[in-house]
Structure 1
Amino acid sequence: MKTLDCRGLECPLPVVKTKEALKEENVVSTIVDNEIAVENLTKFAKVKNYTVNSKKEGKDYIVEISKGDEEADFEVEYTYADCSLAKPKTVVVFASNVMGSNPDLGAILMKSFIFSLTKQDVLPDEMIFYNEGVKITTTKSETLEDLKYLADNGVEIVSCGTCLDFFHLKEELQVGSVTNMYDIVERMEKADKIIKP
């Protein structure tokens, strides 16, 4: 069993670190310092069909997750790899550089969302940025390293050229390519699933 000290880490890092540790260990004990982290770890474990137990010790919480013999991901991986069924095409669409109405909190949430995308077992196929969303693909973005990781791992990233021009950011594009609204509409029409943070 491996023990992780995730006290003081912002969401989603306790889940990400636990998930990574479970790739090499059957049982991981994660120490966190808030109930939200306990809830997030519990939800993660239930989605994966893992066994989860948590307890409070002083001001901290200990969440123990055990893989057992069977992983929930097996059926998904088997379906895609061995049954010749096409993987559903997933497109993530960004119309803003923040999530929600509060700009300060929204920037934090968007950064966390994009980081969380890099930790998924199945990455999206495409990411489309338009309107203020194009600010994420330029030098003004704090998430460029995560976007470059996604691009390097096969995720196609496109930004609306009209939007880049409108915000005077065309020369500052750092990841992906420039596209137009006709192409954006086609990409969205062909998607099996569209995610919009």
Structure 2
Amino acid sequence: MEILDCKGLACPSPVLRTKELIESRTVEAVQILVDNEAASQNVSRFLQSRGFQPDVTSDAGVFTITGNRAESAPASKECEVMSDRQLGLDQARTMVMIATDRIGYGDDTLGKKLMVNFLSTLKEMEGLWRLVFVNNGVKLTVAGAETVPAIQELESSGVSVLVCGTCLTFFDLLDKKKVGETTNMLDIVTSMQVASKVINL
């Protein structure tokens, strides 16, 4: 079993080191050590996306993610080239990145109300593919936020919702997240690359 000690590393380093390991050689089992829950969730999700079955345990603030390659996902495979249609690249993919909990400058109460209205109206946007919340924007996804129902409705309709794990941890909100997947900067950068259009707020 390959072991990676990623304690003390900032996002997205644990995911990048895990990616480097499993792409550099044939790996059937890995064990990754991290020291925060956001990194644990990000590494687990990455391993799962690469055909591993992750299992997480924690002790004294250290999270151990053990990943075993699933039987249905052999370690050695020739690279399969997928068509644009298979990848969904023939369709509009609009990504909206939200880095604030209000819209515009001036009155904060008005700005927050505008954000609620914006998220409630986003379902009318054709080709909406993914919402990404970073910095103060993550506060829109946690318990008590007036915006949670609108975001949940979008997620239920098939829109992907990603929430920055480092940002949640910084604001001590990781346990209060009510909607979306905890994500890392690698996923965010990849999303920007794949999207046909990126809207920043």
Q: TM-score scaled to structure 2, two decimals?
A: 0.53
Preserved CA contact (<8 Å) 2:116 2:146:
yes
Distance 1:116 1:123, change over 3 A: farther
2:121 aligned with 1:116: yes
Q: Deviations over 1:24-48 (max 9, x none)?
A: xxxxxxxxxxxxxxxxxxxxxxxxx
User: Where do 1:150-169 residues align within 5 Å?
Assistant: 150-169=154-173
Of 103, 117, 125, which aligns to 2:129? 125
**1:191 aligns to 2:195 (yes or no):** yes
Q: Return the offset for 1:121.
A: 5.7
**Aligned 8 A contact 2:92 2:127 in 1:** no
Moved over 4 A (4+): none
1:91 matches 2:82: no
Q: Normalization by structure 1: what TM-score? A: 0.54
Hey, what does 2:153 align to over in structure 1? 149
Residues 82-112 of structure 1, C-alpha deviations (whole Å, 9 max, x = no match): xx98221110110001111232111011011
Provide the aligned length of Structure 1 versus Structure 2.
113
**Identity across the alignment (%):** 37
The equivalent of 1:179 in structure 2 is 183
- Which secondary structure state, in structure 2, belongs to the residue aligned with residue 104 of structure 1? helix
Other-structure match for 1:10: none
Shift of 1:184: 0.7
Gaps of 5+ in 2: 1-87
For the aligned residues, what is the CA RMSD?
Answer: 1.7
Q: Distance in 2 between matches of 1:126 and 1:142?
A: 20
Aligned residue identity for 2:173:
L
Are the aligned partners of 1:117 and 1:123 in contact in 2 as well (CA < 8 Å)?
A: no
| 5+ long unaligned stretches in structure 1 | 1-83
> Structure 2 counterpart of 1:107, which letter?
K
Letter in 2 for 1:156: S
Q: Match for residue 104 of structure 1?
A: 109
Higher relative contact order (CA 8 A, sep 6+): 2
Cα distance per residue 1:55-102 (max 9 Å; x no partner): xxxxxxxxxxxxxxxxxxxxxxxxxxxxx9822111011000111123
